[in-house]
């Protein structure tokens, strides 16, 4: 493994932090860590594949071995197809079968369960065209070498008084019998990378196709719809997220052009227009992690709230929530989802620039709440800044955000700030950039958390810290002694001066 791969493994296996800061405790489990390691080693253990699919949909199972690849490959004539023709995928393959009396077929199935054909969508038992009292039990051709039974299979047949004769059967395969990856591997130019995964947002499948896949994009989209029940629209991202509102241009590849959808995350429903707002199903675990840190009565300031995946579950947890987003569409869908989840009166929503939100409503609320804190009644304040491309640049807002002396009873606000890093040591990189914006060291008072791998050599990180008092507060200058003001001279003074002279 490379040093970066080993870093990912070690980093995921434990929370890299500069202190034991309670609000960023890692919930990384060993299977998830193993997935990361396997991802970069090229070996993904079967039992852990489900973990990956929780947040990222893959096309149905990959072909397991070369034998399967040869047996279950579509006909060569489909190579280069750009417009889907399902009829062209018909193919007949020869497979081994046993002729068995229909009365004992169930018993034999149980006894030969490891030898019979195991492929989704294909029947293991078919009628015998020559004898209606018989059934044909299809065997796995990879386990019956040269149509000859092994000793264990022959012993099973002997006990059941079944002749150990293996027959050949012409099995017809159609488009419906092939898996997505098998279809695309057969269609795309030989040796080219095959699209094997997508994000699912309600009824929408979201792809990021590469240049060599674009000529086949409409076929790819239709295959995804055919092979994934519930998917009725497939889109491909045509630009990166580089605009102010964090959405991107997309092309509908197949299916309906309805991009208003409904999703469910952590048992909460959201509705959105996927073409106009930002939504990433891979962040569900992170949304849940942060909300888990909150307690009823806490205050959450969500600076870049989107449609509410932090704000709404926090409000349901009886936190006081201030949620903001610059995108008017996100703001409108945030209000819509507040009503949908019956927390409309528990969230104060704003449609402002993030910096203005921090300098306005956040400053005002902290200034009002901090003087009310007592030893017996303390409120925890959390500020979430999920705009990883830019959020670190907003941290300078906290410099002298409040005026006065910090109260010993007040709990300083906790910031959870997200950022991307391409550095060999992302944790160190994120901390140093945060320190540059804050103008102070965070050594010993922050923690960093690996959220996800965005792209090769690009990590999404979260740094959590309590804003240092010397950063948050601007102390008033000590009062200087003012010189005695001079008394205005009157006409009487001038007269007395004249007499004395």
Q: What is 437-471 written as a DSSP string?
A: HHTS--TTSEEEEEEEEEETTEEEEEEEEEPPHHH
Helix (H, G, I), strand (E, B) or coil at 383: strand
More confident residue, 304 or 118: 304
Q: Which of 147, 143, 159 has its CA nearest to residue 97?
A: 147
> Percentage of the chain surpassing pLDDT 90?
57
Return the pLDDT at 79: 95
Q: Check: CB of residue 461 under 8 Å from CB of residue 427.
A: yes
- What percent of the chain stands above pLDDT 70? 78
Fold of 91-173: Alpha-Beta Plaits (3.30.70)
> Which DSSP string corresponds to 217-275?
HHHHHHHHHHHSTT--EEEEE-S-S-STT----EEEEEE----EEEEEETTEEEEEETT
Question: pLDDT value at position 8?
Answer: 57
Torsion angles phi and psi, residue 34, rounded to 5: -60, -35
pLDDT for the residue numbered 38: 40
What digits encode the pLDDT tens for the residues 337-383?
999 999 999 999 999 999 999 999 999 999 998 887 777 778 899 99
Q: Which CATH class is domain 280-474?
A: alpha beta
Closest C-alpha among 300, 459, 465, 476 to residue 395:
465
Summarised one tens digit per residue, pLDDT across range 132-156 is: 899 999 998 888 877 888 888 888 8
Q: What is the Cα–Cα distance from 469 to 283, expressed in whole angstroms?
A: 31
Q: Given this model, what pLDDT does residue 469 score?
A: 92
Burial class (CB in 10 A: 0-12, 13-18, 19+), 22: exposed
Would you kindly state where each structural domain of the chain is located, as residue ranges?
91-173, 180-258, 280-474
Tokens for 235, please give them: 């889109």
pLDDT tens per residue across span 54-102: 334 544 433 334 445 467 789 999 999 999 999 999 999 899 999 999 8
The pLDDT-based confidence of 463 (bands split at 50, 70, 90) is very high
- Neighbour-count burial for 40-63, b at 16+ CB within 10 Å, e otherwise: beeebeeeeeeebeebebebeebb
Would you state the pLDDT for residue 15?
43
| Token couple for 258 | 């309805």
- CATH code of 180-258, in short, is 3.30.300.110
Question: DSSP letter at 281?
Answer: G
User: What is the pairing mode between strands 320-324 and 347-350?
Assistant: parallel
Burial of 226 (0-12, 13-18, 19+ CB in 10 A): middle
| pLDDT value at 500 more than 80 | no
Looking at residue 147, the DSSP 8-state letter turns out to be G
pTM: 0.75
pLDDT, one tens digit per residue, over 226-258 is 999 999 999 998 765 544 555 567 899 999 999
């Amino acid at each position: 493994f490379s040093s970066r791969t080993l870093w990912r493994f070690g980093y995921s296996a434990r929370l890299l932090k500069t202190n034991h800061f309670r609000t960023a405790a890692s919930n990384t489990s060993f299977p998830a860590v193993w997935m990361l390691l396997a991802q970069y080693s090229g070996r993904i253990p079967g039992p852990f594949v489900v973990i990956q699919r929780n947040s990222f949909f893959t096309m149905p199972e990959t072909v397991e071995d070369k034998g399967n690849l040869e047996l279950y490959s579509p006909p060569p004539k489909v190579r280069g197809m750009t417009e889907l023709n399902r009829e062209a995928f018909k193919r007949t393959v020869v497979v081994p079968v046993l002729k068995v009396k229909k009365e004992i077929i169930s018993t034999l199935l149980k006894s030969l369960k490891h030898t019979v054909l195991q492929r989704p969508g294909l029947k293991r038992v078919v009628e015998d065209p020559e004898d209606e009292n018989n059934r044909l039990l299809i065997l796995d051709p990879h386990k019956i070498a040269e149509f000859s039974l092994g000793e264990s299979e022959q012993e099973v047949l002997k006990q059941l008084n079944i002749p150990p004769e293996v027959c050949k059967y012409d099995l017809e395969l159609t488009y419906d019998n092939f898996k997505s990856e098998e279809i695309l591997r057969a269609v795309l130019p030989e040796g080219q990378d095959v699209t094997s995964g997508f994000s699912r947002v309600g009824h929408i499948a979201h792809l990021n196709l590469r240049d060599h896949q674009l000529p086949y994009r409409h076929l790819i989209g239709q295959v995804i719809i055919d092979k994934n029940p519930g998917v009725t629209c497939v889109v491909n991202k045509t630009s990166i997220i580089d605009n102010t509102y964090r959405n991107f241009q997309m092309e509908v590849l197949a299916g309906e052009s309805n991009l208003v959808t409904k999703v469910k995350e952590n048992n909460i429903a959201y509705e959105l227009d996927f073409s106009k707002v930002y939504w990433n199903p891979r962040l569900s675990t992170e949304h849940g992690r942060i909300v888990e840190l909150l307690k009823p009565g806490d205050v959450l300031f969500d600076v870049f709230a989107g449609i509410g995946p932090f704000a709404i579950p926090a409000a349901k947890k009886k936190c006081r929530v201030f949620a903001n987003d610059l995108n008017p569409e996100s703001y409108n869908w945030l209000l819509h989802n507040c009503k949908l989840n019956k927390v409309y009166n528990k969230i104060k929503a704003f449609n402002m620039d993030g910096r203005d939100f921090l300098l306005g409503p956040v400053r005002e609320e902290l200034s009002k709440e901090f003087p009310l804190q007592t030893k017996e009644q303390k409120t925890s304040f959390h500020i979430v800044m999920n705009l990883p491309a830019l959020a670190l640049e907003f941290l300078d807002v906290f410099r002298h955000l409040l005026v006065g002396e910090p109260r010993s009873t007040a709990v300083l606000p906790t910031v959870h700030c997200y950022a991307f890093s391409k550095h060999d040591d992302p944790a160190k990189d994120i901390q140093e950039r945060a320190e540059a914006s804050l103008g102070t060291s965070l050594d010993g008072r922050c923690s960093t958390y690996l959220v996800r791998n965005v792209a090769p050599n690009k990590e999404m990180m979260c740094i959590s810290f309590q804003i240092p008092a010397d950063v948050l507060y601007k102390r008033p200058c000590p009062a200087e002694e003012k010189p005695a003001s001079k008394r205005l001279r009157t006409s009487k003074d001038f007269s007395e001066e004249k007499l004395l002279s």
